[in-house]
Every structure is written in C-alpha cells, then in structure tokens.
Structure 1
Amino acid sequence: MWRAAAAAALITLGPVGGTHAIWSSDGDDLEPREPPIRLSEEGIQAGAKDDQLCHDVSNLWLLVSNFGVFGLPDETNIYPFTETCGHEGYISCQFPARSGFDYLFQGAIWVGAIVGNDTLVSVGHDGWQHEREFIAGSGTGDTIQVYTNNPSAANYDSVLGLADQSFVGVYTDTMTAADDTRISPNHRKPLNISVKQTSHALSFSYAEDFVIFDYEIENLGLKTLKDLFVGIYLDGDVGPTPQDDGDGSDNAQDDVTGFRQFSADGLKEINAAWLADYDGPSYRAQGAGDGLLVPGVMGVRVVRSPAKNLMTTFNWWLSDPDVQTDWGPGRKFPGGGGLQGTPDGDVNKYLIMKGWQNETLPNPGIDPDQLDARKPDNSAVGAEDTRFLFSFGPFTIEPGALEKLPFTLGYFCAENFWAGGSVDENDFTDFDINAQWVQFVFDNPGVDTKSYDYGVDGRPTDPPDIGEDDGVLDTGDYFFGEDVGADGLPGTLDFGEGNGVLDDGEDLALRYVIRWIDPDPGDPDQSALEYLESIAADVDWNLTPEQIMSTYSRLHLASEVRFGAENGKLDEGDGVPDFSGPPPPPSPSLKIEKPDANHLVLKWNDAPEVFSDGFIPDAKRRRDFQGYRVYVSRTGASNDFTTILDLDVDQVPTYDEDLNITGTMEDTLGRNTGFVSILNTDADSTDYRYRHRYGPIVSNWPVYVAVTSYDNGYPPANLAPLESSVFINATQITPTTPTEQAASLPTLVVPNPYKITADYRGGWEKDAQSWTEFDRKIAFTNIAGRATIRVFTLAGDLVDEFEFVPDHEDDTTAYWDLISRNGQAIVSGIYLFAVEPAGNAEIEVGKFVVLK
C-alpha cells in the first residue's frame, strides 16, 4: 500500500544504468525479469493508442492526453497534431473560451522515487531534451474513455461520469526505446508504475474556470518506491492561440511565474503556482503588435493528497541551450558547469523535485517570484521563456499493493490578473476565488458524502434491508466538515457554526469515524442524526473509541481518526471526494395537456420551492429557490431552447433562532413577479400547483417544452444563480386536435407541400446525424379513431396502404414515410389520399403535393 514517507529521501548521485531487463542494484533480485507491462484485453502494449481530447464544455478549453502530457505534444515525437477537437487553432489551454488567448504550450507529470540504490524519475515530457517516458496501452479501450453526468447523453455513466466531461486514461513507464521508438533513449530504467488519470470539466458558473485532475499511481514492480515525489511541469508560452505550425514561437519570450501561498477567511492554507504573460508578442502584424498583454493568469494547486503534512516545492528556470543563459534560482546541481537552471537526468530532476536546489533560499523549497528574482550579476530577470515545476511528497508505495497512491490537482485560470491592463500591478482576487472553488467542488463543504452501503436504515443488518449490499453507497459517517461548530453537526447553531474560522472544539469534534448508530428501541421514530445531535456536545472526544462506546452504546466507532482531526486547520469538507458543486433546485414534475390543435397547457408542482442547499453556510438562506422558467424548442438541442415565461418569488420566509418559519417578507432579488398569474384552479391543483397555457402555435408540428427552476445564488461566495437543466423534464409533444373535435374537421396533410429539398431534420424528422431517406415523414391529421389510409397517384395507381391505430385517446394523427408499398421512395408530384374510418363510415378524400 502507499504511505506518506516520514524521512528525507536518500539521494544516489551516480549514473542511472541498466538494461531492458530490471536488475536490482542492491541485490534483492536474483534474476533479471521483464518489466511488467500493462495488458489490455486485446493484447500487449505494442502499438500504444496515443490519444488527445479537449475539455471544451466550460470557459476553459484544455487539451489532455493518455501519455502524461497536457497541452500540445509538439516536441514529444508524437504524430503531427493538426487540429484541436474541431476548434480553430492549436489550442492547448484557451481562456476564456473562444477568446483567442492561450495559456499553455505544454504540461506534463513527473514521478521520481528512490528504488533500491537508484534514483529514478519518469516524465511525460521535460520540454528541452524531448524526453517521453509514459505510454498508453494498445487496445481500443486504451484510448481516452469519455463519460458524462448528463443522463440524456449516450456516454452517461453514473459512476465514472462525475462531470459534464470526464476523461479517463491509463499509462505506464514500463516501456523503453527498445520497445517503442516514441520512448526516450535515455529511459533505460523505469520506475515500473501505472498512472490512471481522470480529468473532470464542469459547466456551472462556479466551476467553469478549472479542470480537476484525479490521479492514482500503482507500483507494478517488485521493489518499494521510497520517498516518492510527484511534479507538474508547465511551460506556458502565454499569448494568442497559434494558428499553424510556424505560429506562436514568440509567445514564449515574455512569461513570468511565481508561487502564491494564502489562507482565506480561516480556510486551509492554499499553495498554488502561477504563470502569466508579461508584455506581448511582436510577431503578429495584424492589429496586435508589440505590447499585447494577455490579461489573465494560469495556476495549479494540490487539492488532495494522502499526506497529513504535505511538503510542496516550487522551482522555475529559463531553459536555453547556452549553459551561460540557462538559469534558475538556487544552487547549482552537482557535477555540472554553467548556470544550470534546467535539471538534466534523473538525479537532477529528483533533486529539484524534493527541494534540494532551493533549500538554501530564504523560503526553503520555494523559488522567489520571477519578478523579484536576481541573476548572479544582480540584474533583474524580467520576462523570459520560463517554465516551472510544482512538486509534492514524499510518499512510499509498496510493491504489489492493493491500494494505489491517490492525489488530485486543480488546473485553473483567472481573469483580470493585470490590474488596469498594466504590468505595474497584479490582482489575485479571481485567482484566489478559483483556487478555493477547486477545493469546494472536489470535496463539498458541509456535506457528509455517502461512504457506506448500509441501506435505508443506515446500519448493517442480518438479513440486509432494502438497498444494503447492493453496491450503491447510501449512508455517510455523520462528519460534515469542521465549520459546523464545536458539536461537529450542522444546523444546531452552536458556537462557531458557519463562520469560516476554526473555532475551539471544531478540530476535535467527532474525532473518530462513525460507522453506524443503532436505533432507540424506546423511540423508533428518532433518527440517528437526532440522537447524535442530542449527545454530540457532551461526548469527550479525547477518550478512546472503546471508552466512548461504553458510555454511548448506540454509537459504533471505528478506531480510525476522521479526516482533518487535530491538524490545526479548518477542513470544510469531509475528506471524501465529491467532484460536484452547489446544485440548482430540482426541476418540477411536468404534465402537458392538449386542449386544441394550437395550444398546450403546462402544469407543474411546487417541489423546488422547499429545496435546501447545504453549500450555503448561512442556515437561514439555505432554502434556495428563486423562480421558474418555461422553455420551448423545435429541435430539442441545448442551444435551441427559448424562454417564453420567467417568474420569480415576491415573498421569502422569515425564521426564528430555532430556524422555524415565522412568516414572510418581501423578496429583495429579481423582478418579484410572484406566481399568482399561473396558479392552477383545475381539479388537479393539489398535485400541480401551477398552470400555463402556451399558444397559439402551429398545429401538428412537434415542439419540445420544459420547465426549469433556478435559485438566487450566494453573493458572499461569488456564486451566481444556478438553474436546473432543460433536459430533466423536456418533453416532445405535437399539438393535435382532440378526438371529440377531429370528427367534425377535414383531414389535413402536414407539411403540404412536402419539399424534398427542405431540411426537416432535428424537429419534424430525425436528427441530422442519423437521418436516412426512410426517415421522411408527412402527417394525416384530424383522424377520429381507427382508419385505413391509402395513397394514390393522379392516374389512380395505389402507392401505399396502411392502418392507423391510435396510441391513446387523443391520438388523431397518422404518419407516412413516403415509401411506396414496393419499398421505393416516391417521386415529386401530386398525390391523392383516401381515409376510410373503421365501421363503414364515409370515406374522405384529399390531395397533397411533393416537390423537389
């Protein structure tokens, strides 16, 4: 298993030799053995499936890979990359989306460790020697796998789809150049690790400026990986998005970088590296010219690691083939000449990761910000072709471990970094906000994430109850994070709850993990949480679990100390990954009626109005609902929905100190329209409180309708209002004549004429991606009941004949696919039709036209 390493790493300052067969230099292995390689279901790792995809659902577009690199491959000896997921230009990290500003040339993961007597480092890329040491598998499943949390999407996955876009890739360092020419010739001795990389992009306003990277490292070898450090290497080259292979080279010459350490409102200290443009490229003559300043900043931070006291290091350097120009702060590497900013070889890479190079600086392990640094001749550094390495550790991973080393990173961008568009002053306001929200989305504050599969009663039973042992986590451990007061529970309004500060008692409250709570035999209606609320303030958490359970026998505690206990920092989350954010109110239940051929009646319930948002620390504002919106669309595509109604509350509840509702007061947000105009007075008003009549609209033409709900945001946390998705209850419906009216109306053909050259796809017919000639469609309307429909040419030849059987009481429309009874598409011309109702009623005739 992995464990956080306690001691400093042993450095071997010798050459890293070896062959393809792995030999232990300390004599542990008696025989050489082939390195373990990652096998796919379809074969071995030869012919690796290099893959790159672009996260493009939010305000930050980021290119990721399944070989340890993010951003453009360029110098990684990969196939030429000619586009970025269909977007214009060579996008590495574009922010804001469609702005034409790019903040990244290339980034990569580095992993270094002590293996026996060897110091080994494997890199996705190192930016100057074309080192590439990670590679994916060879099966079709070894490309990047794409999942989503959108239930309406084909790649929806409730487990793996944790965001709008979730990309999963796996790669190893076990191959050498002898196995694949894409691997660096210098990669002669692997660490023998597998890296699983999952990246998540969300489209909500609070998460649109970052991508979360979740990693797991597995030790595939036979030796312990000691004092392991992970590094993130980034070369920015900030500037306009390159448009072709020869574009963008001058972006590299005016970057600056630094390290941001801050603690906001008593929150856990945040360490984040940043890189930004400083002046501007001179190579673009069309309007930009010299002095173009890209206004934002790029950053990276650690969101999660298993180390209780994580060591972080930050190094930057100016990479150059000239050893007299190649320079970075800190002392020189052993045994080299020149200024030596670039860490060549495994040993120097490891030294820089563990902070050896800059441990003599005023802030050990952390290089000074580039604009504050001085070269050896005491001259200012200024802007340059800068790259940085942000590293953290140490860890230990045992061989054959069932557990993998987990860690999570946040890659983010922020706006308005250069205050007033000048390099004289930078502004970290948006940077700090986004750095915090990465943490909030990864581990939701004040949320007890489900951890156990105990079923509806929240405890293990024999036999299991409903939901128990079904593989679905349904019970938490009653830890909601620490900013919930001295008793450790939210909603009790005790000392320190929701104030954003680590108060007395919060760091110790609920010290041990609660596995489950037994019910009260004398009061079976009392919930486990109610029992915990009644005793939490009285429990002495300094006692052992056994001592506590001897007094409070209904508690079942683990010996494990809960996340964040007694670490001296405010941990707002519960330590269990969520990969989610503040939710919008749920969509209401929707019912649609068709009173006539030109109107629809929409009815919905008021369930969203009691929605409570646990992300809001102010308990009196947690009832988070503001209003409803009604949408219509012809195609059902997300960009085609149009708002036809928007109403919001005019009164909000007031509360007493015990959070009981005492009355209402006038709302201070929105337009305060109220909902009186849509109150439902029909017989079903109990189930559907609201009613809206929509029309007049075109009859017999399908339309999508949806009703969403939205909240009022939370300004103290810079949270914009959120809205439920139109796709939750979007319904396609065709307004047709009710059966009782259809009998007195003539049959109509829709559309008439039918134009073969017209595009009816996406609304009337199937969508463009799957449409075929056999998906054409016309409708025969106002048919009151079962009937036989025949189509003839003007000469009286029978083209087709089919039966219409209504699907439901108000189904008065039959459809025909314009395919003859001989299986051929009909040609343009005038056609006759005859509708023969069941029961020998009078036959109705008419005509329609098909045009090219």
Structure 2
Amino acid sequence: MLAVFIWTTPALAVDDNSHYTNIGNISLTVTNYGVFGTGFFIDGQPSCEYPIGSHVEHLWFGGLWFGGEQNGQRKVTTGAMDKNPGTSGTTQGYEFTNSESPTDIIIEKSSLINSRYYDPFAISHQDFICDYSDSNTHVPGVGDSILYHDPFKIAVHQETYAWSMPFADAFVIIRFDITNKSNLPISNIYAGFWFEPSIGNTDLTPTSGPNRSWNWYDDACNFIDSCAMGYKFDYDGDNGFAESYSAVRFLGSTPAFGDTGGGRFLYTDSGYVKYNIWRWNNSSDPVFSAPQNDIERYSKLAGGFNDYPDWRNTIPGILGTSNWTMLISSGPYPTLLPESTMQVVYAMVCAQKYGADSPNEDTPISKTNLLKFANWAKTAYDGEDKNGDGILQPSEDTDHDGILDRYLLPVPPPAPGMKLVAGDSKVDIYWDKFAETFVDPVLGRQDFEGYRIYRARITQDNQSRGLKNLLELIGEFDKTGDSTGYNTGLGYITLPEPVIIDGDTMYYKFTSDNLLNGWQYIFAVSAFDTGDPLNNLESLESSALLNYQRAFPGTPVQTNAKVGVFPNPYRAYAIWDGRGTDGAKERLRKMYFYNLPEKCRITIYTLAGEIVDKIDHDAASGTGADIAWFNNYASGDVVMSGGVHSWDVVSKADQAIATGLYLYTVKDEITGDIQKGKFLIIK
C-alpha cells in the first residue's frame, strides 16, 4: 500500500467492526460487512496480531470475492480490495453491506461452558456470526454510492471459528454460505478470498501517527500446491521482531468443484484452486497488474499463476519482495439457482518461523509451524471426513447419524477460574475446581488429571515474542494413582478452607515469591486431562491464554510505614521504560511511590517549591496504574498491591521533567498525617 487513507465505514449507524478473536493466540478483526482486518485505521485494535501481545501485525484488509455470469453478464462482487475504502460520499471495492437494523450486528457464541457467551450449539471456543449482502448500490443508512457495483443480489451468512487449544490457536476458520436471492441463475461461478497480508512489528515501525514508518515493500509470497495455501513473510524479519508467516488456506466447499451431484475432489486435482498476486493498486505492471474492472477481476478468479508449468522459476520477480496483495480462488462451481446456497471455507493461519534460517529464507524447515497449524485447520474442517474426499463413509460416521459433522477437534478440560492478589515481592494465585467436573464429549466421562501454573515477566524488549512464548512453567500438580503426570497429589495447593474472592469460591492457592516490585508479571493456570491411550490420544491441556492475568507486585496499603520512591535515583531509558521516538518516550516513563496509605495525595515539588504534579491515590477505587505506560504495555485489567502508585515523570503542564533533585509530600487523607521525601532524576 502506498498512501495513508481515512477509513470511512460503509454504514456508521449499524456497522460492527469492534469484534476481534481473542480466545487463542491470533487476534483477527471480523466485521459484519464482509471485511477482515482494520487496515490499521482503528487505534488500539489488532488487525491480525500474532502472537497475542506481540504487536506483530499480519493483515491490512481481506474479504470474499464472488464472480459469475448472470443474465449474460460477467461480474464480480468484492468484499475488499486494494483501494481506499472510501471518501466522503462514495466507496469502491467494498461492496457488501449490512442492513440498517440496529440488531444486525455480530453475534458471539462459545462452546466453553464457563464462557459468558456459552451456547450449546456453538461450533468453536469463539464463534462470530453475521449476515450481509451485495444487493445495495448505496450504503444503507448513509447513502454513499458504491462505485461501479453491479449486484448479483446474493446474501452471505458468515461464521468464523477460533479455538484456544495450543495446537489450534494460530488459525481462524472463515465460512461463507452464499445464497442467490435474485430471480436469475448465476453460472460459471468462482469464489475467492482476497487479502493483503502485511507483516511487521508496530512498536518498531508504527502504522500511524507522526512517526509512521510501516514498510509495505519488505514481504515475499509463495503458494503451497499440496494444501491450497498462499502465504507471505517479512523478508527482513524486522531485525528479529517479526519473523512470521501470514497465510490463507482453502479448506473446502459445498458443492465441490464441478459437482453436479455426488461428485468429489481432492487437492491433487489440478486447476481448481488458483493463486494470484499483484502489486497494490498498480495498473501498469505488465505481469503483476491489479485488476481494474469486473472483467479483469473475474479473469483473476478463474486463472492463477499456478496454472503455468514451473511458474516459480519462469515468472521473473514472483518470489521477490513488494507490496503484494493475494487472491486464493476456486471453481468453477455449478450454477446457483434462485434461493440455492453454496459454501466456501478458508482458514486464516499465522505462524512463527521455525529453526535458524535467516529471515529472507523460506525453507521447508522454516515452514514447520505454518504447515502444522494449517493441517490442524484442515483436520478441524474435515471433522468426520477423515480422508478429506467430501463424502461420509460408514466407517467415518462416529455418531452414526448419517450426517457429515465438521469442525471437530480433541477437547481438553476448561481452564479454571483464577484470581490474583499482589503483595510485597510476591503474587498469590487462587483458582477454582471447575475443570474437575468437566465431562469429555468424546469419552463421555470426567478425565481431569491436574493443573499447571505459568508465569512470565514482561518487558518492552521481550513482548514481541508473544505472551504464549514467554510463559514458563513454575508448578505442576496432578492426581495420584495413574500413569499420567508426576502423581504429586493436590494437597500442596489445596486451601484448608475455600475462600471467596470477588464473589467466586476458590479452592487452591499457589504463591509466586521472590518477585521484583513494580515489574509486570503474567500468570495463568491451565488444566490437563489423562488422555486416552486406547484411542492414541495424548493428554490435552487447556490454553494458558484463556485465563491469564497481569499483576504488579508491590507493598500493600500501609498506615505507619515510611513512604518511598523507586527507582531512586530514576535513570531515563531504563529497561522498563517505553520505546519509541523522543516525544513518545517522555510519556512512557514509569516510577513508583510505595508504602502508601489507603487514601492520600502525593504532591511533587522542585527545590524552589514550585508544584510539579499532584497525584490522588485511592487503593479502594483505583489501581495506581493510570499513566500512558500501562495503556501501551499492560492494557486491560491489572492487579496492583494497593500501596503503590505510578507516575510518568511528566508535569501537570504535560512537560517532561528535567534532570535534578525533587521533593514530595504524601498526605494521608484519613489521618491527616504528612510524610516528606526526595528523589533524583537523571536523564
């Protein structure tokens, strides 16, 4: 992409672009008008972040393409394309719209029993469900003209599925059910998923703002014929901070290609899945030109570079770097009669490179993780269809209902409910026993075995690795009397009596001590099962990303202790300070006042007596984490100890604080007692 645009959503009154997957290790924004990703236009919301917490993005925009012939005319409807989404009064290329109804939003469901979105009919741990159509030539509720759009009058029912299990947390399955709502048949149909994968670390190369430095030209593409998957990777790896893949895999369709009843296809069938790339919005490149009209777009859907023998070696530049966009398409499909429905299914897959290959290499070894997650996506889609031929054999029908059940994966116990209590150089971890009553839907019995406790210390320098990769096992406890685990028993972690925290009953406790006050730690507790040796199924564990929480150890509320400051002296550019340009850094600094009473006012002075800043601390209603650093590096709920409060080393006039000695007072608002102290700032 070449320019900066203003994102104007197609229907401001009812558009829902606030949903993004967060149940696994990939955060993909999903909308109710056919667009995937944010285009980097929604501050603070991931477009397609992987791993979660890394600030490594993998997608600009993506969307469904549908092409065919209707009433003698060849045309294409596009959910997204390599153009500006729109300016005031018009939009182009974003041709699906939702209705004006305020209820026409994304519905979330979950198969997790302890989720607030639990629904017994949910498919995955996080389902997003919505409907839209291509029938409008103007955006409902706004009136903006959708330029050059000739509708088929198709309705799309869209569902996305995401899971939390470690082997299935790096992909999102995207299902489109497409119904012909017109009075005319649609023939010679091709369907595809267009997307612009763009990979980079937003801390290192911001996507917006005055310091925007995102590199659109340092990515390379390729296609894996055997699994119908196109992918992209960052050619320079952003100096080790973005060495990962972004991919879309075609999983299957109903009907199959050319299916006129009972037909079948396999991925080895040639000519059905097409791979196309072109340079973003480039109409002059003789080989990689972007399609400019429906005729050219249909041609892209119907034919790909992989139609040519030895295309990787005979088409110059096709494996090089550029601002590539990609289209994975399939067809032709049989004629879609009025009120008939077809289905196409894809998987958005992300993976970190494996091994020690350099960032510009794309070897079978470096794709190890990508292929592993892509194959699990296919396994989930196939479900009972073990050989992937689209036909349910009697030997595959595990529930004997004569219906091909898809989206099936092994299931671990649910993650327990967890609470953290931060203290001086320690964090107490409490959790419930909800996982122990879980009945495995495949085995039909309880198979809980034990718990694992994880911890990570997060800094600005390591968070690009992602939370999942930073978590380290610090404790494991399991039942006795079987061959799974260490048979430690649960006695060490069992509380003498259950305790109630925030209305929830907790039965277990583990203390993580010898921690550094003021540093950010993340904790999680997972549950694992016994496995099923008879069915060759290993022990499964719930994802540590399901219940992780952030905590900052520090002193609890004090009444008579001496108030202090740490670090003292404060030295700029410390490891726990934020990163960025000079202006951004000044607002991402952090120091703490500690041993504070429950409610107090902190006043900071220069040596001349001028007031620099005032801070109100209330342990009962605030966390002490109300500075910009936390918004950038510890977003969401955090657990503080109550007796500390952070300060960003910025004055009440929003000015950076200079090197020097400063004074402070802390007035206890309950007793009226005042304490005094001083600290040194070195820049």
Q: Please confirm whether the aligned pair reaches a TM-score higher than 0.5, indicating the same fold.
A: yes
User: How far is 1:222 from its partner?
Assistant: 0.6
User: How far is 1:231 from its partner?
Assistant: 0.9
Query: What's the CA shift string for 1:65-112, capped at 9, x where partnerless?
Result: 1222111247xxxxxx44244xxxxx3211111112111111121100
User: How far is 1:359 from its partner?
Assistant: 7.4
C-alpha separation in 1, matches of 2:218 and 2:333: 36
Are 1:131 and 2:78 an aligned pair? Answer: no
Are 1:343 and 2:309 an aligned pair? Answer: no
Amino acid in the other structure paired with 1:66: N
Aligned to 2:179: 218
Amino acid in the other structure paired with 1:303: L
Aligned to 1:117: 72
Task: Indicate how the Cα distance of structure 1 residues 246 and 135 shifts in structure 2: closer, same or farther if over 3 A, else same.
Answer: farther
1:364-379 superposed matches below 5 A: 368-369=311-312, 372=313, 374-375=315-316
Aligned to 2:249: 301
Aligned to 1:626: 449
C-alpha separation in 1, matches of 2:73 and 2:52: 44
Are 1:584 and 2:522 an aligned pair? Answer: no
Aligned to 1:423: 360
Task: Indicate how the Cα distance of structure 1 residues 124 and 48 shifts in structure 2: closer, same or farther if over 3 A, else same.
Answer: farther
Task: Indicate how the Cα distance of structure 1 residues 55 and 585 shifts in structure 2: closer, same or farther if over 3 A, else same.
Answer: closer
Amino acid in the other structure paired with 1:108: G
- Contact 1:613–1:623 under 8 Å retained in 2: no
C-alpha separation in 1, matches of 2:435 and 2:368: 41
- Contact 2:152–2:182 under 8 Å retained in 1: yes
Are 1:721 and 2:543 an aligned pair? Answer: no
User: How far is 1:176 from its partner?
Assistant: 1.2
Task: Indicate how the Cα distance of structure 1 residues 224 and 59 shifts in structure 2: closer, same or farther if over 3 A, else same.
Answer: same
User: How far is 1:412 from its partner?
Assistant: 0.9
Aligned residues: 477
C-alpha separation in 2, matches of 1:512 and 1:422: 42
Aligned to 2:370, the other structure's residue is in SS state helix
Task: Indicate how the Cα distance of structure 1 residues 434 and 231 shifts in structure 2: closer, same or farther if over 3 A, else same.
Answer: same
User: How far is 1:394 from its partner?
Assistant: 2.2
Amino acid in the other structure paired with 2:35: V
Task: Indicate how the Cα distance of structure 1 residues 361 and 106 shifts in structure 2: closer, same or farther if over 3 A, else same.
Answer: same
- Contact 1:152–1:727 under 8 Å retained in 2: no
Amino acid in the other structure paired with 2:309: P
C-alpha separation in 2, matches of 1:107 and 1:153: 29
- Contact 1:316–1:386 under 8 Å retained in 2: yes
1:714-793 superposed matches below 5 A: 721-723=540-542, 758-759=619-620
- Contact 2:166–2:543 under 8 Å retained in 1: no
C-alpha separation in 1, matches of 2:319 and 2:101: 48
Alignment counterpart, residue 329 of structure 2, candidates 391, 396, 403 = 391
Are 1:208 and 2:169 an aligned pair? Answer: yes
Alignment counterpart, residue 486 of structure 2, candidates 671, 680, 686 = 671
- Contact 2:243–2:352 under 8 Å retained in 1: yes
1:1-40 superposed matches below 5 A: none
Aligned to 1:149: 111
1:161-180 superposed matches below 5 A: 161-177=122-138
Amino acid in the other structure paired with 2:274: T
Out of 210-219 and 693-702, give the one that drifted further: 693-702
Task: Indicate how the Cα distance of structure 1 residues 149 and 693 shifts in structure 2: closer, same or farther if over 3 A, else same.
Answer: closer
User: How far is 1:217 from its partner?
Assistant: 0.7
User: How far is 1:507 from its partner?
Assistant: 9.1
C-alpha separation in 2, matches of 1:258 and 1:727: 33
- Contact 2:125–2:161 under 8 Å retained in 1: yes
Alignment counterpart, residue 373 of structure 2, candidates 434, 447, 462 = 434
- Contact 2:62–2:193 under 8 Å retained in 1: yes
Alignment counterpart, residue 408 of structure 1, candidates 345, 362, 379 = 345
C-alpha separation in 1, matches of 2:290 and 2:435: 64
Unaligned runs of 5+ in 1: 1-44, 75-80, 86-90, 263-269, 281-287, 329-340, 445-479, 484-500, 518-561, 563-573, 589-599, 616-621, 632-642, 653-666, 679-691, 729-752, 763-768, 770-827, 830-852
Aligned to 1:259: 223
1:228-307 superposed matches below 5 A: 228-241=189-202, 242-245=206-209, 250-262=214-226, 270-279=227-236, 294-306=242-254, 307=256
C-alpha separation in 2, matches of 1:624 and 1:212: 28
Query: What's the CA shift string for 1:551-588, capped at 9, x where partnerless?
Result: xxxxxxxxxxx7xxxxxxxxxxx73223x531224899
Aligned to 1:694: 495
Unaligned runs of 5+ in 2: 1-9, 85-91, 257-263, 267-271, 417-429, 455-472, 509-525, 548-596, 601-617, 624-635, 637-669, 672-683
Amino acid in the other structure paired with 2:371: D
- Select the structure of larger CA radius of gyration: 1
Amino acid in the other structure paired with 1:83: D
Aligned to 1:63: 29
- Contact 2:24–2:163 under 8 Å retained in 1: yes
Aligned to 1:434, the other structure's residue is in SS state helix
Aligned to 1:63, the other structure's residue is in SS state strand
C-alpha separation in 1, matches of 2:322 and 2:348: 22
Aligned to 2:394, the other structure's residue is in SS state coil
User: How far is 1:152 from its partner?
Assistant: 4.5
C-alpha separation in 1, matches of 2:527 and 2:35: 40
Aligned to 2:168, the other structure's residue is in SS state coil
Out of 170-179 and 221-230, give the one that drifted further: 170-179
- Contact 2:108–2:117 under 8 Å retained in 1: yes
C-alpha separation in 2, matches of 1:360 and 1:196: 31
- Contact 2:452–2:477 under 8 Å retained in 1: yes
User: How far is 1:139 from its partner?
Assistant: 0.9
Task: Indicate how the Cα distance of structure 1 residues 649 and 415 shifts in structure 2: closer, same or farther if over 3 A, else same.
Answer: same
Query: What's the CA shift string for 1:116-152, capped at 9, x where partnerless?
Result: 2100100012203742211111111112223333444
Alignment counterpart, residue 309 of structure 2, candidates 344, 352, 362 = 362
Out of 292-301 and 241-250, give the one that drifted further: 241-250
C-alpha separation in 1, matches of 2:144 and 2:375: 38
Task: Indicate how the Cα distance of structure 1 residues 516 and 71 shifts in structure 2: closer, same or farther if over 3 A, else same.
Answer: closer
Task: Indicate how the Cα distance of structure 1 residues 702 and 111 shifts in structure 2: closer, same or farther if over 3 A, else same.
Answer: closer
Identical columns (%)? 24
Question: Which has the larger strand fraction?
Answer: 2
C-alpha separation in 2, matches of 1:606 and 1:697: 16
What is the TM-score of this pair, normalised by structure 2?
Answer: 0.59
Query: What's the CA shift string for 1:29-52, capped at 9, x where partnerless?
Result: xxxxxxxxxxxxxxxx98762221
Task: Indicate how the Cα distance of structure 1 residues 425 and 125 shifts in structure 2: closer, same or farther if over 3 A, else same.
Answer: closer
User: How far is 1:58 from its partner?
Assistant: 1.9
C-alpha separation in 2, matches of 1:303 and 1:429: 19
Aligned to 2:47: 92
Query: What's the CA shift string for 1:263-299, capped at 9, x where partnerless?
Result: xxxxxxx22111111125xxxxxxx6xx667211011
Task: Indicate how the Cα distance of structure 1 residues 121 and 727 shifts in structure 2: closer, same or farther if over 3 A, else same.
Answer: closer
User: How far is 1:420 from its partner?
Assistant: 3.1
